[in-house]
């Protein structure tokens, strides 16, 4: 399979660019600036604002582009945008506090609850996959929360990870899931711009984005793995879902070195390139 660039160009309409790129990015940019400039005394609730912005950006793009219904009656990947709403309380809490035990506990509950509706299995298998996907979301989120990086750098890492996810899903022929991952790309890019403007010295704003980003990323990779059959190796999806763990290198003593912070995005890029290489090998075999 080779990327159909003509199909890509034909899909870049004013509607898809507006609803799929501009609107999600403006949700994060607008609410971030509003909290920082208009409601400065509410900055300790900045995590709630960015968590709501992520959910709003995903929902607005999802329904404006006609990717799925508002009310979902059955289990499956149509629940994906709703995961960001389930993650809003965890985003609010993560923005307010940073003690590992409390934040980890809230994130674990959120992740398991978000993973549960993704597929319909027997009760035992449903519990198993909820635990697996919940744990993957928890690891991804905690890595982003506790990385020793500025907010803009964390948002850039999220952008790179979501971009890789969209490419993997596109290569698998899952255009709908690819568009949802594209919403995450737009939101993360909007966050990069917002954090460069406001600074976010206490990292409250970026921490609010993390739970929703992690549960949606994990859900996308899981649904992509189930939906595309044996076309791509499972390692592609696992690598992307767990890519944020590379950020934990920033907590090693070598982070004080001049190249330390620059190595983190480079490691994420390496994960993306490895995923692309595995995809290419699978497609050629």
pLDDT (average), residues 255-277 = 57
Average pLDDT along the chain: 79
Question: What pLDDT, on a 0 to 100 scale, did the predictor assign at position 190?
Answer: 92
pLDDT (average), residues 100-124 = 81
pTM for the model: 0.85
Out of 120-134, 144-158, 177-191, 254-268, pick the least confident. Answer: 254-268
The pLDDT confidence band at residue 53, using thresholds 50, 70 and 90, is very high
Is residue 3 scored above 50 in pLDDT? no
Is residue 120 scored above 80 in pLDDT? no
In the chain, domain spans = 5-284
Is residue 268 scored above 70 in pLDDT? no
The pLDDT confidence band at residue 10, using thresholds 50, 70 and 90, is very low
SS (H, E, C) the chain: CCCCHHHHHHHCCHHHHHHHHHHHHHHHHHHHHHHHHHCHHHHHHHHHHHHHHHHHHHHHHHHHCCCCCCCCCCCCHHHHHHHHHHCHHHHHHHHHCCCHHHHHHHHHHHHHHHHHHHCCCCHHHHHHHHHHHHHHHHHHHHHHHHCCCCHHHHHHHHHHHHHHHHHHHHHCCCHHHHHHHHHHHHHHHHHHHHHHHHCCCCCHHHHHHHHHHHHHHHHHHHHHHHHCCCCCCHHHHHHHHCHHHHHHHHHCHHHHCCCHHHHHHHHHHHHHHHHHHHHHHHHHC
Out of 53-57, 112-116, 137-141, pick the least confident. Answer: 112-116
pLDDT (average), residues 257-262 = 53
Q: pLDDT, tens digit, for every residue of 192-239? A: 999 998 888 788 889 999 999 999 999 999 988 888 665 777 778 888
Is residue 4 scored above 60 in pLDDT? no
Question: What pLDDT, on a 0 to 100 scale, did the predictor assign at position 122?
Answer: 78
């Amino acid at each position: 399979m080779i990327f159909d660039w003509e199909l890509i160009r034909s899909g870049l309409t004013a509607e898809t660019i507006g609803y799929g790129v501009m609107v999600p990015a403006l949700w994060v940019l607008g609410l971030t600036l509003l909290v920082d400039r208009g409601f400065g005394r509410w900055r300790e609730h900045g995590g709630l604002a960015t968590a709501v912005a992520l959910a709003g950006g995903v929902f607005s793009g999802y329904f404006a582009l006609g990717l799925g219904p508002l009310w979902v009656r059955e289990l499956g990947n149509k629940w994906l945008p709703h995961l960001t709403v389930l993650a809003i309380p965890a985003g609010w809490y993560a923005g307010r506090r940073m003690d590992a035990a409390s934040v980890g506990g809230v994130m674990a509950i959120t992740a398991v609850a978000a993973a549960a509706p993704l597929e319909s299995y027997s009760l035992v298998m449903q519990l198993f996959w909820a635990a697996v996907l919940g744990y993957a979301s928890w690891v991804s989120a905690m890595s982003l929360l506790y990385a020793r990086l500025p907010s803009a750098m964390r948002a850039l890492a999220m952008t790179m990870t979501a971009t890789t996810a969209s490419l993997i899903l596109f290569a698998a022929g899952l255009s709908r899931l690819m568009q949802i991952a594209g919403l995450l790309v737009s939101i993360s890019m909007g966050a990069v711009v917002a954090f460069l403007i406001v600074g976010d010295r206490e990292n409250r704003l970026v921490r609010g984005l993390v739970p929703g980003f992690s549960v949606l990323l994990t859900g996308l990779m899981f649904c992509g793995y189930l939906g595309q059959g044996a076309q791509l190796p499972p390692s592609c999806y696992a690598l992307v879902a767990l890519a944020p763990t590379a950020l934990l290198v920033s907590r090693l003593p070598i982070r004080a070195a001049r190249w330390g912070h620059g190595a983190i995005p480079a490691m994420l890029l390496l994960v993306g390139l490895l995923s692309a290489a595995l995809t290419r090998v699978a497609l050629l075999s």
